[in-house]
Amino acid sequence: MAEHLHREFADNPGDPLQALWDVSLAVWPGEFLSIVGPSGCGKSTLLRILGGLLRPTQGQVRFQGQPLDGPRREIGFVFQKVNLMPWRTVLRNITLPLEVQGVDRREATARARHLIELVGLHGFDHHYPRQLSGGMQQRVVLARALIHEPTLLLLDEPFGALDAMTRERMNLELLRIWSLRRQTAVLVTHSIAEAVFLADRVLVMTPRPGRIAATVAVPLPRPRSLEMMGEEEFGLLTQQVRRAIEGDWLPGPPHVR
Ligand SMILES: Nc1ncnc2c1ncn2[C@@H]1O[C@H](COP(=O)(O)OP(=O)(O)O)[C@@H](O)[C@H]1O
Ligand SMILES: [Mg+2]
């Protein structure tokens, strides 16, 4: 739940850059929310604020009823850039957050092994990141994000660096994994098709300063299949999102850069 978020970046003294302008949104427990918008509109900024990694200049985020004032174990993050430790194996990358926390090594290993199965990396425990494809590396990142059993999973263009076919497969994998536990998921993307395919609701942002342009409900049944992307209803939904993105947005409030 976010209320009236504003965020500016003051890297030029006296001429702050307004990234977000009065963004309010609610995320329902268990839902899959996609946030889509043009590059530079403030999607990553918004997601980092929702995850407690960045503070809004104005406004407030509430998580489980409490004001959010920093990162929380219940919030898992997956970024586009794969940030695995190259000198650690798959297994040890996934156990790392638990090691930091001081969890017993045997328990950490057991929990990581379970997640390795879950994300479809059976047999790769002792491989190093460089021995894996981009899609497999992102599976490791996903497993690591799930290690604390987060109730909220935040994903920032997680498959943006992958080729189109791998990306589609990873979207299906993500839905399979998400549907097992139904943790709340918020995914940021600039792909309209991806946003619609994954979500229960798509939130459309305006160009910078980022505001909410529209919310589009996605009543497509689950489980979703790639064939749905060829169906008329899917086409209508993506059209609706595209229209909202291409809307005639004011450059933003006056005096805002
Ligand atoms: N740490 C920062 N310092 C200064 N400007 C930033 C910073 N992070 C983001 N911005 C600016 O804020 C705007 C929104 O960025 P971002 O949230 O990354 O957009 P998106 O993820 O939608 O592409 C951009 O103009 C970007 O240059
Ligand atoms: Mg971004």
pLDDT in tens, the chain (257 residues): 777 788 888 877 778 888 898 889 999 999 999 999 999 999 999 999 999 999 999 999 999 999 999 999 999 999 988 899 999 999 999 999 999 999 999 999 999 999 999 999 999 999 999 999 999 999 999 999 999 999 999 999 999 889 999 999 999 999 999 999 899 999 999 999 999 999 999 999 998 889 999 999 999 999 999 999 999 999 999 999 999 988 866 666 545 55
Whether residue 9 has its Cβ less than 6 Å from ligand 1: yes
User: Is the residue at 23 inside a domain?
Assistant: no
pLDDT value for 256: 53
Q: Is residue 45 a contact partner of residue 7, using CB atoms and an 8 Å limit?
A: yes
**129 in a domain, yes or no?**
yes
Q: What is the best residue among 5, 8, 9 to mutate for testing ligand 1's pocket, by most ligand atoms within 8 Å of CB?
A: 9
Task: Confirm or reject: Cβ of 146 under 6 Å from ligand 1.
Answer: no
Long-range Cβ pairs for the range 6-14 (8 Å, 24+): 6/56, 6/57, 6/58, 6/59, 7/42, 7/45, 7/46, 7/49, 7/54, 7/56, 7/57, 8/57
pLDDT at 246: 85
Q: Please check whether residue 144 lies inside any domain of the structure.
A: yes
Report how far residue 206's alpha carbon sits from residue 215's, in angstroms, rounded to the nearest whole number. 12
* Number of domains forming the structure of the chain: 1
Considering the domain boundaries, does residue 125 fall inside one?
Answer: yes
Going from the Cα of 47 to the center of ligand 1, the distance in angstroms, rounded, reads 11
Give the number of the atom of ligand 1 that is nearest the alpha carbon of residue 41. Answer: 22
Residue 5 in any domain: the answer is: no
The whole-number pLDDT of residue 66 equals 92
| Residue of the CA atom closest to atom 12 of ligand 1 | 19
Helix segments in the chain, DSSP class H: 43-50, 90-101, 105-118, 134-146, 164-181, 192-198, 232-245
Cα–Cα distance measured from residue 39 to residue 36, given in angstroms and rounded to the nearest whole number = 9
Instruction: Report which residue type is found at 38.
Output: P
Can you give the pTM of this predicted structure? 0.93
The residue whose CB lies within 8 Å of the most ligand 1 atoms, and thus the one to mutate among 20, 44, 211, 245, is 44
Q: Which domain holds residue 131?
A: 80-149
Q: How far apart are CA 186 and CA 231, in angstroms?
A: 25
Nearest to 153 by CA among 162, 143, 163: 143
Let me know: does 233 contact 220? Beta carbons within 8 Å: yes
Q: Which of 5, 17, 48 to mutate to test the pocket of ligand 1 (most atoms within 8 A of CB)?
A: 17
Domain for residue 110, yes or no? yes
